[in-house]
Amino acid sequence: MVSSFEDPSIQDIKLDLRKYPEIRKALKSKKPLVVNDALKDPLMKPVREKIKPLGIQSIAVIPIIHRDEVIGTLFLRTSKTGMSFTEREIKLCNAIANASSNALYNAYLFERLENEKTRLEKLAITDYLTGVYNIRYFYNRLDEEFSRAIRYEIPISCIMLDIDRFKRINDNYGHRAGDLVLRQFAQLIRRHTRKSDVFARYGGEEFIILLPQTGVDGARTEAERLQKYIREYSFKNIEEKITSSMGIACWPTHNIETSDDLITLADHALYRAKAMGRNRVVVSRRIRKQAPRK
């Protein structure tokens, strides 16, 4: 073993094979390779000056082969002067390499399957065009967060937003340009939302943000901040500036009994924002009536 790391955060360490002519040759030949004197062997001439300060004396590279395919190497070095790998040691290393080939290949297959599983899970909850969460995932999270808000009596808000005059963008620049604008818009919003917020595409040019543990004032501040980013952003493929209208609803401030009410009131507030001239934030008017004190 040359070196080891036990830090789990260090992953995918890559070797520059241009610095390892001995490994390249072993990979090509699929046979064990031994360099008895690293500073004199012609194979090591391109890297001789680099390895000289390391005091390397001899090197052994044993290919790990699975079904005639090299899937790795067992790579050893010695630094003791006059010491080289014996034939017995090479046979032992070769036996270790052969024994480890199945385990390494199975580990590779397992990692590949896990990566594919992660990719498919992500596809199931992601909108294909914009890359943000889809509405199915949003509804699942909405039920969870709304139930938590009711149980612990903490506020929860919803922002419904869309792109103003999006049809005009499609008409003037084409639907392909419109799709690119939608994607840029979604990615811009996602970059500027909190990790605790749930941002999803609702449909068409409409998007929705769930803000757990956030009251009306916090939601309004968040919406106005996002509007500023949208107004200042230069969208590619179109010449005009883009604005967004937003509607806000909040439990327990507004007359909300179910999670669906939260979306409905935010949608109504968005409609009012559009009717009032667009490019503005409107909060729901349906305030919850306080029970009279006894």
Q: What is the pLDDT of residues 3-39, one digit of tens each?
A: 555 666 666 777 788 889 999 999 999 999 999 888 8
Question: In this predicted model, which residue has the larger pLDDT, 109 or 268?
Answer: 268
88-108 pLDDT, tens per residue?
Answer: 988 998 898 888 888 888 888
> Which one from 6, 69, 153, 205 is the annotated catalytic residue?
205
User: Residue 151: what pLDDT?
Assistant: 95
Reply yes or no on domain 17-121 having CATH 3.30.70.580. no
Region(s) of the chain under CATH 3.30.450.40:
17-121
Measured between alpha carbons, how far is 171 from 268 in angstroms, rounded to an integer? 26
Q: Could you tell me the two tokens for 134?
A: 């889809």
pTM for the whole thing?
A: 0.67
Sequence ranges of the chain with CATH classification 3.30.70.270: 135-283
Asked if 77 and 33 touch (Cβ cutoff 8 Å), the reply is no
Residue 293: per-residue pLDDT: 47
Assess contact for 228 and 260: CB atoms under 8 A.
no
Q: Give the model's pLDDT for residue 3.
A: 53
Highest mean pLDDT range out of 40-49, 135-144, 282-291? 135-144
**Averaged pLDDT of the chain:** 90
- What token pair was written down for 100? 């480890």
The domain 135-283 is classified under which CATH number: 3.30.70.270, 3.30.70.260, 1.10.10.60, 3.40.50.620?
Answer: 3.30.70.270
Parallel, antiparallel or unpaired: strands 58-66 and 198-203 = unpaired
Looking only at the bridges linking them, the beta strands covering 156-163 and 198-203 are unpaired
- Whether 224 sits among the annotated catalytic residues: the reply is no
Report the pLDDT averaged over residues 106-123: 84
